[in-house]
Amino acid sequence: MGSYKNESLRRKLKMDRDYIGFATLPEQVHRKSVKRGFDFTLMVVGESGLGKSTMVNSLFLTDLYKERKIPSAEERVDKTLLIERKTMEIEEKGVKLRLTVVDTPGFGDAINCEESWRGIERYIDEQFQQYFKDENGLNRKNIVDNRVHCCLYFIPPFGHGLRQLDIEFMKRLHQKVNILPCLAKADTLTLPEIRKLKERIMTEIAEHKIQIYQFPDCDSDEDEEFKQQDRELKTSLPFAIIGSNQIVEINGKKVRGRVYPWGVVEVENPTHSDFIKLKTFLVSTHMQDLKDVTRDIHYENYRATYITKISQQVARERTKLRRDSGASLENVSDTDRLLLQKDEEIRRMQDMLNQMQQKLRSASDKTIDPAELLAEFKRDSVIDL
């Protein structure tokens, strides 16, 4: 009996000696991430009356717009676009999420809607610029990420496809934010009408070369259930959605829905709408990928453009100084010679940035790994970014 115990102890010690311990790294990362919490910024864009606020309340089981006043028809004539940002802390099973919802009341309400998309584009650029400044500042450990990670664009159910406003907005912003088209108020259409309108919208998106969010391919080692779920999400675009804050009772069961004279439409019934698919996409399966694409593609594209602009401005100022001083190339001082060398370095850097922008556009089609592009750019760069 004693020899058996000794043998068991020797086997256990042998296993401990062979065990290095790095297999616990995922658990360490998980604990650290949960302790720190997560950030996510969702933007909703669409005309008034398409159910944007109701949809947000239905998604996150809250009421963010209790004090909002609905403008009258006279007020909408001269109404300009507003940017409303609301932040709330959500905790579920010990995981904390700092959710920021950016709403855009007034979009598309004016006669001239050009300023609608300009205001949204300006807001997205401002968040990129603020993050860039924080990233290059002294307090880098406590950066608050307010970059827009996903934009739900609401398309009205009436009409025969995309309007000029829809096309213009998505073409202007598809390289700055992850756009996810949604067909609003789907309960106003029959199922055949929804299928036909979805096909028309996706065809027009392809014809106008609009780059909406591209779902990543599933890994080969994923289980079949996850692959099937991914296929269903991809084929459901644009999501036909219904929102409601009303709780109704059906056969003794309380659900969110809308009551009509002919029956009840259940928000979370997959045969009635794609609400569950949208919620699964945003919360359960693709939230982290939306953040990764924002960081690796949209933000890096902005960063490269911003640095190029600064470099060009510096080069112009130095050229102006040399021209104003009247110095000739035959009699160049050591300081001017250093400036000329730096100008040459800046020109080389601009060429590299232009190449990186072209590759980043290709990376948006999932053909190139953005992380590898960034590493390659930093290796070849003559200036430490």
> 244-301, pLDDT tens digit by residue?
878 888 877 888 888 888 888 888 888 888 988 998 888 888 888 999 999 999 999 9
CA distance to 316, 354, 377, per residue, from 309 (Å): 11, 11, 17
Q: Global pTM?
A: 0.73
Best CA proximity match to 39, nearest among 88, 111, 106, 72: 88
Cα 81 to Cα 67: distance, rounded to the nearest angstrom? 18
Verify cis geometry, omega within 30 degrees of 0, for the bond prior to 238: yes
pLDDT-based confidence at residue 183 (cuts at 50, 70, 90): very high
Segment 203-214 shows an average pLDDT of 93
Choose the weakest-confidence range: 53-57, 213-217, 223-227, 357-361.
Answer: 357-361
Q: Which helix (H) or strand (E) holds 177?
A: none
pLDDT above 70 (res 110)? no
**3-state SS, one letter per residue, for 312-358:** HHHHHHHHHHHHHHCCCHHHCCHHHHHHHHHHHHHHHHHHHHHHHHH
Segment 173-196 shows an average pLDDT of 91
pLDDT-based confidence at residue 13 (cuts at 50, 70, 90): very low
Helix (H, G, I), strand (E, B) or coil at 51: coil
Higher pLDDT, 147 or 107: 147
The sheet with strand 263-266 has its strands ordered as: 247-250, 253-260, 263-266
All structural domains of the chain with their residue ranges: 34-285, 296-380
Q: Which letter does DSSP use for residue 80 in this model? A: P
pLDDT above 80 (res 78)? no
| Domain 34-285 homologous superfamily, CATH | P-loop containing nucleotide triphosphate hydrolases (3.40.50.300)
Joined together, the tokens standing for residue 354 give: 């232009």
Long-range contacts formed by 6-15: CB under 8 A, 24+ apart: none
Joined together, the tokens standing for residue 334 give: 């050591």
pLDDT above 90 (res 153)? yes
- Predicted confidence at residue 95, as pLDDT, reads 81
- Predicted confidence at residue 383, as pLDDT, reads 43
Segment 99-111 shows an average pLDDT of 81
CB 105 within 8 A of CB 84: yes
- Predicted confidence at residue 292, as pLDDT, reads 92
Segment 221-247 shows an average pLDDT of 84
Best CA proximity match to 189, nearest among 87, 273, 310: 273
- Predicted confidence at residue 8, as pLDDT, reads 59
Q: Is 247 exposed, middle or buried, given 0-12, 13-18 or 19+ CB atoms closer than 10 A?
A: exposed
- Predicted confidence at residue 385, as pLDDT, reads 39
| pLDDT, averaged across the chain | 78
- Predicted confidence at residue 10, as pLDDT, reads 52
- Predicted confidence at residue 228, as pLDDT, reads 85
pLDDT-based confidence at residue 324 (cuts at 50, 70, 90): low
pLDDT above 90 (res 221)? no
Cα 159 to Cα 190: distance, rounded to the nearest angstrom? 14
Best CA proximity match to 182, nearest among 240, 236, 232: 240
On the CB side of 85, CA atoms within 13 Å amount to 13
Other beta carbons within 10 angstroms of residue 339's beta carbon come to 17
pLDDT > 90: what percent of the chain? 21
